Structure 1
Amino acid sequence: MKPHTDVLIVGAGPTGLVLALWLHRQGVNVHIFDQADAPAKNSRAIVVHARIIELYRQLGLSEELVALGYKLPGTNLWVHGQHKAHISLLDFGRELTPYPFMLNVPQDDHEKMLETHLNDIGIHVQRGTKLQGFVDHGSSITATLFHETDGISTTHEASYIVGCDGAHSEVRHTIGAKYEGETYKPLFYIADVEAQDNKLSNGEGNLLFTNDIFNLMIPYSKKGHARLIGIITPNNDQSPTLESPDHDHQVTFEDVRPQITETTHIDIKNVNWFSTYRSHHRVADKFRKNRAFLVGDAAHIHSPVGGQGMNTGIMDSINLAWKLTTVLKRTDMSEEAKDQLLDSYESERRSFALTIVKSTDAGFTTLTSQGILGHILRKWLIPYLVPLVVRFEFARKRIFRGASQLICNYRGSALCQTDEGMVQSGDRLPWVRIDQQDNFSTLQDLCWQLHVYGEPGPQLDQWARKKDVKLFIFHWNDQYAEAGLIKDAVYLLRPDHYIAGIFEGSSIESRLDEYFLTRGLY
């Protein structure tokens, strides 16, 4: 007999675990499995951005994650061993988010937290299990799973399958999606180390430029425990090893230790993890085919500049979760409406993935480009211009919005109205804090909501009760106007915190009806 579930999740990294948690919270039955025999035991991705922490409030995970992580207090810029600038990062995004900092959490700790919560609700990752393939029947899928411990294959039937299975995704291969992009030439090293106290093991980030190479040192737990990232520079003795992709795995930490010592002058006591890699920037040409979806690295991969990869994948999962929930729970929806809603996952998330790839590619090129222009950028423009720019609040806000993914929007989506103004449909709801209270406190509910900043119309409460849409009213304050919100306007919010529509004036209830009816949402 074929086991049946609503959603079959392939891969138990952060994207798969988040997808499972968000689907279960909304009453969807899931089955999640992973090819690895056990959870990962190295830190890998460590930066968790503000937008993700905001969304984690929906499941009450934010404070636990913040307590688990390390808030990076600042970063330093060095050129040829000389200290050129210090940039404070604590409260860098104040007035934008409840989490105005860069949070470093080793990925293995992050995954352990997510999986513990999944286990607490009775869902356990099936380990040592590989997807051999699946067949899409139109009304369901049948997947073949190979259990490596006993060598037995089983079949599993599900309504939908989601590939959270990384850059070598079997789900992507099965749906025939192209993975378009390039591989960067430089060979990178990545290491988690414990270092003796010196000017760099100071609990802050350190970006070092020496000639045409860079090294980045980021603390991720306590003083002396840090992530080291840099380009491996070949010399005459090592060039066959360091320049050939076929031999990347042969490079050891001892091969790069002299380079690290020369550029950073740190005394490394222990190396807890070391790896080499060549960075890629690729985006699948489709994120969905019928009942199969791609999420995270299975759909897009890019340079590690800015720590955007894991964060983008988690946002994929949260975007997809409420849409899958809707089509699974709303049996009265037409097939056309279901397709339109599920199609919006690809249109919204692929567009953002392309934007992220473009921005990280620009950052990567700045850090690694050879020649006179790259030399000028690293030696003069970055060390002197960046500290000057971040003195201005508007510049800090713009940088933080982009780096923390607060800037992500879905303007132009089929799920959004068309409007104008500082804040528009498709935008993240602006965060406003007044007297120790903020307007994000209502967003812990995974549901459609109405927000009114000012006075609601006389019939709005009745409409909301009839349609089972939660209504929240905030007494007007000029701080709302400063954030771009309109007095007395009605803001329709999707389950993922994004604004679906902004309604002003008369006949708001009938226009809300039109919004839902034209999209088949009720």
Structure 2
Amino acid sequence: MRTPTDVYDVLIAGAGPTGLVLALWLHHQGLKVHIVDQAEAPAKDSRAIVVHARIVELYRQLGLADDLLELGYKLPATNLWFDGQHKAQIPIREFGQDLTAYPFLLIVPQSEHETMLERRLNDLGVHVERKTKLQDFVDHDSSITATLSHQPGGTSSTINASYIVGCDGAHSVVRRKIGAKYEGDTYEPLFYIADIEARDDTFINGEGHLIFTDDTYNLLVPYNKAGHVRVVGLTTQRNNDNNDHGSPTHEHGIAFEDVRPQITKATNIDITKVNWFSTYRSHHRVAEKFRRNRAFLAGDAAHIHSPAGGQGMNTGIMDAINLAWKLATVLKQTNMSEDAKHQLLESYESERRSFAMMIVKSTDTGFTLITSKGFVPHIVRTWVIPYLAPLALKFDAARGRVFKGLSQLICNYRASSLSRSGEGAVQAGDRLPWAEMDEEDNFSTLRYVCWQLHAYGEILPHLEEWARDNGVKVFAFDWHDQYVKAGLVKDAVYLLRPDQYIAGIFEGPSIESELKEYFATRGLKC
């Protein structure tokens, strides 16, 4: 329970997955956080259900990966259908076996995901202040003062913090306050989304199904429970504000009974129960800036995506982990210059906004080709997806590229000021390549949220002493040919940031002096 005199390191507006992950990572690094949300409890509906491999990797840092895997369902394959004919089965779990310990799409309802995160936060003594909305805040340059509105009753209170982060969604108060335009557009098609229970030997088989019928599509994704399926599709119904089916309708005036014939025509499944139904229009937008002074944006407040590939929630979680260690650094490193603090915090926007722009562009392209009318989209739906795509995916190189892009393993910060320039297949700014040896992997050390060194092969005698004196953890791995396949270099030393990305790759006898230069030129201490 907070008191009116409490001062926090970080105030977080919004307790969705992005806000909860940010709170967990900040607390883990010793910061005092407060998180508020308008809702009375975690969301009961679950638009976001896919958690990608990169997120599971990052969750290992705080021991959350096993809990998430216990909740989720590992989608083994997806199937392509066109006008009632099965065109291909795509074995997703074979795509990333040499890339990550988690070579699958993990299906976890967002409601269960949020509940897991909030339970862990509560176990640590941090509780979401529910039924509380951020009304406004004032940035004093050295701190912020926020005004909160509480329900029921509409009473207000103020809270002081060093920084504020808006994880408060597409209608973000923080984004409006910092004057960031939300540039992009709204897709014209109207979509439906439903969680159903059904019976069928063909489509209710534990695999995903992408079904093209009548120039529209329906997507079926199974849950953990047998017979429970998420169905998403492009509606073929016009808005019907006077719906009289007697079943729940959404604001667009369309009820599940309006789309049931569409689902039946595509799949002929026996739907026994509808647990949730909604309609929505999808958007693609990116805020023109992610930061102004002591205020930051993350998640849907900063970017919103088409549903193609399930990238939105995953991108927001990566925002949170990227920002958390940078806020912790500037708040805990007392002798850090103001210029160095500014440069480090600026790197959040430069790194995450460029990635968000890339994701929005790629998902927009794919989404438009699937949903638009016209000759080219029609050719993509009728020929490229059902015939050419499965053929291309028979090649390992193509499968690897698809998995890296889908799972966000492709994310890199090579252009960042925090990345030491280099060349080669693996460079500074990249995710550390994963490699498994004797039932152990080189990611096992990444449970520490700190700077660390990975030495593959011979390690210089004084490097461990330097690392110990500077508070950097160092881990030595005996060289093996498996590391060549992963793209690692023998006898090279990899400096890893607290968020598991490579800051620099060092070789030769001058590693120690080059490490000193890296930190000194950026005003950082390890």
TM-score band, normalised by the shorter chain? over 0.9
1:120-135 counterparts in 2 under 5 A? 120-135=123-138
SS of 2:9's equivalent?
strand
User: Among 428, 432, 436, which residue is 2:431 paired with?
Assistant: 428
Q: Contact (CA 8 Å) 1:8, 1:160: kept in 2 or not?
A: yes
| 1:493 aligned onto 2:509 | no
Alpha-carbon offset, residue 482 of structure 1: 1.6
Aligned to 1:244: none
> What does residue range 268-283 of structure 1 map to in structure 2 within 5 Å?
268-283=271-286
The equivalences for 1:364-513 within 5 A come to: 364-513=367-516
Structure 2 counterpart SS, 1:250 = coil
Which of 220, 223, 235 aligns to 1:220? It is 223
- Tell me the CA shift for residue 162 of structure 1: 0.3
**Structure 2 residue aligned with 1:69:** 72
Whether contact under 8 Å (1:46, 1:220) holds in the other structure is no
Instruction: Provide, for residues 174-215 of structure 1, a one-character-per-residue CA deviation record: whole Å limited to 9, x for no partner.
Output: 111000001010000011111122311111101111121011
- Give the superposition deviation at 1:371: 2.1
Q: Which amino acid aligns with 2:185?
A: E
CA–CA separation in structure 1 for the residues paired with 2:263 and 2:500: 44
Percent identity, aligned pairs only, is 69
Kindly report structure 1 stretches of 4+ aligned residues shifted beyond 4 Å.
Answer: 237-241
Q: Deviations over 1:208-250 (max 9, x none)?
A: 1112101111112223211111111136x95999xxxxx8532
| Partners of 1:395 and 1:264 in 2: CA distance | 29
Contact kept, 8 Å, 2:223 with 2:230, in 1: the verdict is yes
SS in 1 for 2:27: helix
Match of 1:184 in 2: 187
Q: Which of 239, 255, 261 matches 2:264?
A: 261
CA contact (8 A) 1:161 1:292 kept: yes
Report how many aligned residue pairs link the two structures: 516
- Asked if residue 113 in structure 1 is aligned to residue 116 in structure 2, the reply is yes
Of 169, 174, 177, which residue of structure 1 is paired with 2:172? 169
Task: Give the 5 Å matches for 1:324-363.
Answer: 324-363=327-366
Q: Distance in 1 between matches of 2:26 and 2:266?
A: 47
Change (3 A) 1:361 1:259: same
- Partners in 1 of 2:454 and 2:332 — Cα distance? 25
Output the aligned Cα RMSD: 1.3
Q: Which residue of 1 aligns with 2:252?
A: 249
Summarize deviations over 1:110-153 as a string: whole Å, max 9, x none.
01110110000111111000111000000000000011123210
**Contact 2:190–2:281 (CA<8 Å) still a contact in 1?**
yes
Q: Which amino acid aligns with 2:284?
A: H
Q: From 44, 59, 63, give the equivalent of 1:60.
A: 63
CA distance in structure 1 between the partners assigned to 2:307 and 2:504 by the alignment: 34
Name 1:295's counterpart in structure 2. 298
Q: CA deviation at 1:374?
A: 1.8
Q: Secondary structure at the match of 1:425?
A: coil
Determine the structure 2 residue equivalent to 1:19. 22
Q: 2:432, 2:152 → 1: CA distance?
A: 47
Check the 8 A contact 2:240/2:252 in 1, yes or no.
Answer: no
Gaps of 5+ in 2: 244-249
8 Å CA contact 2:83, 2:213 repeated in 1: yes
Secondary structure in 1 matching 2:54: helix
Indicate the SS of the match to 1:350: helix
Q: Which moved more, 1:46-55 or 1:80-89?
A: 80-89
CA–CA distance in 2 between the matches of 1:439 and 1:262? 49
Q: Alpha-carbon deviations, 1:86-131, whole Å to 9, x = none?
A: 1112232101001011100000000111011000011111100011
Equivalent-residue separation in structure 2 for 1:511 and 1:463 (angstroms): 12
**Cα deviation, residue 506, structure 1:** 2.1
Q: What's 2:101 paired with? A: 98
Give the letter for the 1:492 counterpart.
L
Shift of the alpha carbon at 1:264?
2.0
Distance 2:213 2:252 in 1: 25
| In structure 2, C-alpha distance between the alignment counterparts of 1:323 and 1:91, rounded to whole Å | 36
Look up the SS of the partner of 1:456 in the other structure. coil
Cα displacement string for residues 341-373 of structure 1 (whole angstroms, at most 9, x for unaligned residues): 000000000000000001100110121121222
8 Å contact kept, 2:430–2:502:
yes
CA contact (8 A) 1:2 1:155 kept: no
**Does the residue aligned with 1:352 lie in a helix, a strand or coil?**
helix
Q: Is the 8 A contact 1:33 1:129 kept in 2?
A: yes
Question: Could you tell me which amino acid in structure 1 is paired with residue 505 of structure 2?
Answer: I
Whole-Å Cα distance in 2 between the matches of residues 119 and 365 of structure 1?
Answer: 41
Partner secondary structure for residue 282 of structure 1: strand
In the alignment, the residues of structure 2 paired with residue 146 and residue 249 of structure 1 have an alpha-carbon distance, to the nearest angstrom, of: 30
Partner SS, residue 90 of structure 1: helix
Q: Counterparts of 1:140 and 1:329 in 2: how far apart (Å)? A: 15
Q: Distance in 1 between matches of 2:145 and 2:187?
A: 37
What SS class does the counterpart of residue 102 from structure 2 fall into? coil
| Structure 1 match to 2:151 | 148
Q: 1:178 to 1:481 in 2, by over 3 A?
A: same
Distance 1:385 1:238 in 2: 38
Write the distance in 2 (CA, Å) between the matches of 1:466 and 1:2.
39
Cα separation, 2, equivalents of 1:30 and 1:350: 24
Q: Which amino acid is 1:466 matched to?
A: D
Corresponding residue SS for 2:308: coil
1:39 correspondence with 2:55? no
- Partners of 1:240 and 1:81 in 2: how far apart? 33
Instruction: State the distance in 2 between where 1:380 and 1:414 align.
Output: 44
Letter in 1 for 2:219: L
Deviations 1:397-431, CA, capped at 9 Å, x for gaps: 11100000000000010001110001000000000
